[in-house]
Amino acid sequence: MHGSSSRRPLNPRTAHGSGQSPKRVLSLLGVSLLGLTPLVSLGCSNGDGPLVLEPKTLTKTRMASRVVVPADLSATSEDRFGNPFAPAKKVEPEAPAGGYEWDVPASWVEVAPRSQFRMVDFQVAGVSTAECYVTKLPGGAGGVIGNINRWASTQLGLPPLTEADVALLPRHSLLGREGVLFEADGDFSGVGGASLEQARMMGLVLEDPMFTLFVKMTGPRDLVLAERQAFLDFAASLRESEDPPSGNSAAPAAPGAGGGGFGFDEIDYELPEGWTRGGPRPMRLMSFVTADGGDVSVSTAGGTLDQNLTRWYGQVGLAPPQGAAILGLERIPVLGRSSIVVDVEGDFTGMGDQKVPDQRLLGIIVPLEANDESLFVKMVGDRELVGAERERLLAFARSMTKTPESQATTKGR
């Protein structure tokens, strides 16, 4: 182990770990997930005798400097977010170069990151379907409640938690502060179609004014239970390096925030009259502000066409089109692909569950990989304001062309 004794100690307030015994953690979750499938106790058996939680010895310490990984718009969901069940590739730990450092549990093996957003990736206990990784995103990245509900609802199929539920979740040491700890069982569905029945998830979220840090472990339920203390010890060991960081050790640059960090400099476009470039925003490639103050976003995400239509229509309280109705939707060419135009009205509910009445959602879904990855151009706002910008938004989308980064000369910048 290198230099751990010379490193800045963790905050004494958090030296006790999560502050809750395993039994207490599960009882809190039993309150917050009331009505769901009961969580297992720590004494359950896998059929070969009871599982015993044994202390995991921390054997290695290393630092991370990976903060921005180039990507391109042709990347699939599996490329971008990672397939947890893809074969792991063991890697040698990088030489210390500033940023963060941590202590590695003895049974964990560091593997090549399976997503460009991951700071570090581990295979847990040599099991291909068990992984733990660390991700750091700029800004709020959807908020603590939004991310926990993404894990609970989208990935485990559980009902969403309320703000009061999340307030009852235990806290655990992360970067010398207290992160929110989420634990639950269910049938896990990851981005890219990966799935695992009878899975368990452990996740920690730490929100800072400048970034959001995630530590997450998923895998077979019994194995994750057995590795629970190793996960908590690993999270508590995460700390900032005292060595001068090499390069930018802050959160990864927001997609499209300049410098080609997310590859959107490979897109040429005609900037509509009256529009200006907006500042970097979490989860977006680019943002624009219209002459009347309207907000236009450009982003990418996974999911099938049906799933994305369901999401957008659901945001204004409408049932999505199905079957032949989808075939009848307006289409325009964007980046050489036939792209669906969504133009709907209603009371809009965004990620924060705040409802805004009488809104109009105008968006374009551009398929980048069949049924896997899409680019979205979207505007939500007052009905008249969005209506006035409709033709400009469609013209903006039609004007997009993909250009090699070395030749990018984006118009209107």
Give the pLDDT confidence score for residue 245 in this predicted structure. Answer: 43
**Sequence-ordered list of residues with C-beta below 8 angstroms from that of 221, at least 6 positions apart, any chain:** 40, 185, 198, 199, 200
What's the CATH code of the domain at 268?
A: 3.40.1000.10
The first and second tokens of residue 129, run together, are 């379907």
The answer to whether the CB of 123 falls within 8 A of the CB of 109 is: yes
Strands 211-220 and 239-240: unpaired
In a domain, 249, yes or no: no
Is there a single domain that holds both residue 370 and residue 268?
yes
Give the pLDDT confidence score for residue 113 in this predicted structure. Answer: 78
Give the pLDDT confidence score for residue 355 in this predicted structure. Answer: 81
235 Rama sector, left if φ>0, alpha if ψ -120 to 50, beta otherwise: alpha
Read off the DSSP letter of residue 45. Answer: B
Is there a single domain that holds both residue 200 and residue 332?
no
Give the pLDDT confidence score for residue 200 in this predicted structure. Answer: 96
User: Total structural domains in the chain?
Assistant: 2
Give the pLDDT confidence score for residue 390 in this predicted structure. Answer: 97
Give the pLDDT confidence score for residue 412 in this predicted structure. Answer: 44
Is there a single domain that holds both residue 236 and residue 269?
no
**Sequence-ordered list of residues with C-beta below 8 angstroms from that of 110, at least 6 positions apart, any chain:** 62, 90, 91, 93, 104, 120, 121, 122
- Distances in whole angstroms, Cα of residue 380 to Cα of each of 41, 211, 398: 45, 25, 19
Task: Show pLDDT as tens, one digit a residue, over the chain (413 residues).
Answer: 433 332 323 232 333 333 433 332 322 333 333 334 334 333 333 444 444 444 444 444 444 433 333 344 444 444 444 454 455 454 444 433 237 889 999 999 998 877 767 888 999 988 989 999 998 887 777 789 988 999 999 899 999 999 999 999 999 999 989 999 999 999 998 765 678 999 999 999 998 877 889 999 999 999 999 999 999 999 999 988 765 444 333 334 333 333 323 334 467 889 999 999 887 776 778 889 999 989 999 988 777 888 889 989 999 999 999 988 999 999 999 988 899 999 999 999 876 567 889 999 999 999 876 446 788 999 999 999 999 999 999 999 999 987 654 343 334 43
Is there a single domain that holds both residue 222 and residue 285?
no
Element (H, E) at 377: strand 373-382
Q: What is the CA radius of gyration of the chain?
A: 22
Is there a single domain that holds both residue 150 and residue 277?
no
In a domain, 109, yes or no: yes
Give the pLDDT confidence score for residue 241 in this predicted structure. Answer: 75
- Distances in whole angstroms, Cα of residue 8 to Cα of each of 11, 15, 66, 339, 369: 9, 13, 21, 52, 46
Is there a single domain that holds both residue 205 and residue 348?
no
State the Cα–Cα distance between residues 43 and 47, nearest whole angstrom.
12
State the Cα–Cα distance between residues 200 and 46, nearest whole angstrom.
14
Q: Is 206 helix (H, G, I), strand (E, B) or coil?
A: strand
State the Cα–Cα distance between residues 176 and 174, nearest whole angstrom.
5
Give the pLDDT confidence score for residue 95 in this predicted structure. Answer: 35
Residue located via tokens 């809009």: 348
In a domain, 80, yes or no: yes
In a domain, 246, yes or no: no
Name the phi and psi angles at 30, rounded to 5. -60, -30
The answer to whether the CB of 63 falls within 8 A of the CB of 101 is: yes
Per-residue b or e along 364-403, where b marks 16 or more CB atoms closer than 10 Å to that residue's CB: bbbbbeeebbbbbbbbbbeeebbeebeebbbebbbbbeee
Give the pLDDT confidence score for residue 128 in this predicted structure. Answer: 87
Is there a single domain that holds both residue 58 and residue 167?
yes
Domain that holds residue 330: 264-407
| 0.75 surpassed by pTM | no
**Of residues 310, 330, 311, the one with CA closest to residue 321:** 310
Exposed (0-12), middle (13-18) or buried (19+): which is 124, by Cβ within 10 Å? buried
Is there a single domain that holds both residue 171 and residue 269?
no
Is there a single domain that holds both residue 190 and residue 311?
no
State the Cα–Cα distance between residues 219 and 203, nearest whole angstrom.
12
Q: Which of 240, 274, 303 is the last residue of a domain?
A: 240
